[in-house]
Amino acid sequence: MVLLLFVDLDPDLAALRPLGGFFVLRTPGAAPRPLATLARTYGQPSPDAYGDPLTRRVQKVAHALRAPEARIAASVAQQGLAARLWSVTLGCAALYGRVPDLDPRLLQWDPDGSAPDDLWLAEVRPLPADPATVADVVLRAHLEPLTAALRARYHVAAGLLWGNAGSALAGAARQLDGWARANGRTDLAARARSLTAGLLSHPLLAGTGTLTATAFRRRSCCLYYRVPGGGVCGDCCFTRPPRSSPRATSG
Ligand code: SF4
């Protein structure tokens, strides 16, 4: 029998640190310089000091990858942010048995930053770590408005973005599983696996791919193959880049 001990979230989420920077959230407090919240980022750009963080990030990714189309960079940027949000919540769920409320109004984001200095949470409010609550925290509060913003601005297919969301979740779970097994914490691995399976059956993620143990096979193409030097990732729906496949652009 596995005995699961739930502990309350500590104010700086220190237990996440051994998992690596991708799982870490800066908290409590504000970033060292003024940054837009993610609520502000997902909304319409407005002429204030923050400018347009979402466009800024997509442009930054496009430049770094030499992406030939903005929607490719939009896809990669969305997958990156989704992976960060899933990593934090899965890590907390496994280690604490609770997740922090990632209300986008409390979460500041640096479009020029990388993990862990890209996300700053103003205060830690613990929530239960069941699939329905975690879905509300990540899917409803973040990935739905992010998907809507990217679809409106870059005409990225919804199926592609939800496929990215499923892939990012499976990737975070795989990382966590590897760390848990390497550290003799099979209880954590089991908790993360169960939560991941529950989340992948959520209506927004159901059908995005197939999870077998920790291996995920997605059903939509993320467009990364169109980047110069890009290819197929481990959870790709193809075995080689679909240079001439019509599925590649269908999302
Ligand atoms: S071929 Fe696979 S890895 Fe490459 S862009 Fe498509 S889904 Fe992504």
Q: Classify residue 40: in a domain, yes or no.
A: yes
Q: Which atom of ligand 1 is nearest to the CA of 241?
A: 1
The pLDDT value recorded for residue 6 is 62
The pLDDT value recorded for residue 251 is 47
The pLDDT value recorded for residue 33 is 87
The vertex-235 CA angle with 38 and 158, nearest 5°, equals 45
Instruction: Please report, in tens digits, the pLDDT of each residue of the chain (251 residues total).
Output: 444 456 789 989 999 999 999 999 999 887 888 899 999 999 988 878 888 999 999 999 999 999 999 999 999 999 999 999 999 999 999 999 999 999 999 999 999 999 999 999 999 999 999 999 999 999 999 999 999 999 999 999 999 999 999 999 999 999 999 999 999 999 999 999 999 999 999 999 999 999 999 999 999 999 999 999 988 988 999 988 886 444 444 44
Q: Which atom of ligand 1 is nearest to the CA of 231?
A: 4
Q: Which atom of ligand 1 is nearest to the CA of 223?
A: 5
Measure the CA–CA gap between 199 and 182, rounded to whole angstroms: 24
Q: Classify residue 249: in a domain, yes or no.
A: no
Instruction: Kindly state if the Cβ of 76 falls inside 6 Å of ligand 1.
Output: no
Measure the CA–CA gap between 55 and 40, rounded to whole angstroms: 12
Q: Classify residue 245: in a domain, yes or no.
A: no
Q: Classify residue 5: in a domain, yes or no.
A: no
Find the domain containing 116 and state its range: 17-237
From the CA of 148, how far away is ligand 1's center (Å)?
22
The owner of tokens 């110069």 is 228
Instruction: Kindly state if the Cβ of 237 falls inside 6 Å of ligand 1.
Output: yes
- Give exposure, 29-56, as e/b (b: 16+ Cβ within 10 Å): eebeeebbbbbbbbeebeeeebebbbbb
Instruction: Kindly state if the Cβ of 224 falls inside 6 Å of ligand 1.
Output: yes
Beta bridge partners of 237: none
The pLDDT value recorded for residue 50 is 87
Q: Classify residue 36: in a domain, yes or no.
A: yes
How many domains is the chain built from?
A: 1
Q: Classify residue 8: in a domain, yes or no.
A: no
Q: Classify residue 173: in a domain, yes or no.
A: yes
Q: Classify residue 100: in a domain, yes or no.
A: yes
